């Protein structure tokens, strides 16, 4: 069984000890490094190249949001699970927008943490319902028509207007109208942001990307 190599970035010693106790006995997971601040965390990531990073957002020297951005710029972009006491909708939103693939609050169970790490290693998003509820508070409610939902799925698959028109058997001009309506209703500036919003809200699922 391949072990998932994990780097912990957490400034509180007791919190790191607690994480060790949760993860140490799990045969599929191995903690390969620990950092107590953001700068050290980036340095250790470059040195160790772990599969998954588990980090807090409140860090000395460099805050967690900035660490996420920097780690995602690496030649091998980090797969990051946030584990934080920050539970506001804006905190969750900023972390996901910055590039985190998973988000847990510190009252999460050990089983949830292990599940989040497994998902991250497979490059799959992990957002428990309580976190999704926070995102729903941040992102305006949507009222997409059935056709607009079909267009949104095509957008998340990276299809062009021409390809969407062929798929849905409608005119390309009509597709452009639907795309504009979807972006406006979602408050998205472009297709990439619409895709992010769609995943965050559960409007599309992984089988749409097959």
Q: Please work out, in degrees rounded to the nearest 5, the angle formed at the alpha carbon of residue 164 by the alpha carbons of 160 and 169.
A: 150
Which domains, and CATH codes, for the chain? 4-138 (3.40.50.2300), 146-209 (1.10.10.10)
pTM for the whole structure = 0.68
DSSP 166: H
DSSP 99: T
CA-to-CA dists, residue 177 to 51, 159, 182, 184, angstroms: 42, 15, 9, 11
**What's the whole-number mean pLDDT along residues 152-174?**
93
Which tens digits make up the pLDDT trace of 34-58? Answer: 999 999 999 999 999 999 999 999 9
Which tens digits make up the pLDDT trace of 73-114? Answer: 999 999 999 999 887 777 888 898 899 999 999 999 999 999
Cβ atoms 116, 126 nearer than 8 A: yes
CA distance 139 to 201: 8
């Amino acid at each position: 069984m391949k072990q998932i190599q994990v780097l912990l970035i957490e400034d509180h010693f007791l919190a790191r000890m607690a994480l060790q106790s949760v993860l140490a006995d799990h045969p599929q997971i191995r903690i390969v490094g620990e950092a107590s601040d953001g700068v050290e965390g980036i340095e250790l990531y470059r040195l160790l190249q772990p599969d998954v990073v588990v980090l807090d957002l409140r860090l000395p020297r460099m805050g967690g949001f900035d660490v996420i951005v920097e780690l995602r710029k690496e030649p091998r972009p980090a797969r990051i699970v946030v584990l934080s006491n920050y539970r506001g909708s804006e905190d969750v939103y900023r972390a996901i927008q910055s590039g985190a693939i998973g988000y847990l609050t510190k009252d999460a169970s050990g089983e949830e943490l292990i599940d989040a790490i497994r998902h991250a290693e497979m490059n799959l998003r992990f957002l428990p319902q309580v976190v999704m509820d926070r995102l729903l508070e941040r992102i305006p409610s949507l009222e997409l028509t059935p056709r607009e939902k079909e267009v949104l799925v095509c957008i998340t698959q990276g299809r062009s207007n021409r390809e969407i028109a062929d798929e849905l058997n409608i005119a390309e001009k009509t597709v452009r109208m639907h795309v504009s309506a979807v972006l406006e209703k979602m408050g998205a500036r472009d297709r990439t942001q619409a895709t992010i919003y769609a995943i965050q809200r559960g409007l599309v699922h992984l089988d749409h990307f097959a």
